[in-house]
Amino acid sequence: MNTVSYYSLSTNQQQDFFNYLSQVRDPSPAFDNMWAEDWNAKSNTLPYILNKTEKFRPGSGDYFVVYDNDTIVGMGGVCYSSFNKFIALAGVRTWVNPHYRNRALLKEHLLPYHRAWAVANKCRQIALTFNDYNKNIAEIFKRNRAGTPRLEHNLFYNGLEELKFPVIIQKTPQWVIYERLDSSWNFNWDCISQK
Ligand SMILES: CC(C)(COP(=O)(O)OP(=O)(O)OC[C@H]1O[C@@H](n2cnc3c(N)ncnc32)[C@H](O)[C@@H]1OP(=O)(O)O)[C@@H](O)C(=O)NCCC(=O)NCCS
């Protein structure tokens, strides 16, 4: 497996990435945010965000594509949160090729890059957020499969904390799990809780 930043790909490789997305048929609601033929007009879609916003550009975040030789097998981004510059949001616009699911691909080949970005950019917490409709996905990060302890490069190496209430991030209720990268730093998540 090879994990690379979208912004380090050549123009042809970026085009191949979009061609791949255009061919995916995935009925999951999360895929609505990944591709649309008219993505130029849809600010929620991944191509729009990558091409027309700063969200994942150097200085704000990064977006990674995971390859198995030439096959695109996964993708996802990390960026500063909109509500606190010391909190990074990881696993943003994350999607795994259905042929590569159930192999913990994210654990070893995507999320370590997000954690490394957060550490390098002096973030003090790193969080994964989930919409109400996919909050069950948080469970897959909470458990530790037998024989696979979290090492220092793994997300949640310092432990996983979970908010018991939803917060509002960009006007949307979100469920949050997070890791403290700096144990001496606190954030009052109540201040963005859904009232
Ligand atoms: C969510 C997703 C990234 C997980 O990728 P993955 O490589 O299969 O993840 P893992 O191998 O680490 O974990 C697999 C586990 O997640 C579970 N899982 C996958 N999708 C799920 C969902 N929508 N709801 C609940 N659990 C889910 C699987 O059942 C499996 O659990 P099991 O081991 O008990 O059988 C992948 O299913 C995907 O790309 N889904 C569509 C996009 C999406 O939902 N993105 C939002 C991510 S926040």
Average pLDDT over the chain reads: 95
Average pLDDT over residues 81-105: 96
pLDDT confidence of residue 35? 97
Regarding the beta carbon of 85 and ligand 1, being less than 6 Å apart is answered no
How many angstroms separate the alpha carbon of residue 170 from the centre of ligand 1? 24
**Domains observed in the chain:** 2-192 (3.40.630.30)
Q: For the chain, percent helix, then strand, then coil, each to nearest 5?
A: 35, 25, 40
Distance 103 CA to ligand 1 centre (A): 10
Asked whether residue 19 carries a pLDDT value surpassing 80, the answer given is yes
pTM here is 0.95
Confidence label for 40 from pLDDT (cuts 50, 70 and 90): very high
Cβ(146)–Cβ(106) under 8 Å?
no
pLDDT at 29: 85
Predicted pLDDT at 149? 85
Nearest CA to 104 out of 163, 175, 155, 31 is that of 155
Each residue's pLDDT tens digit, 139-170: 999 887 766 789 999 999 999 999 999 999 98
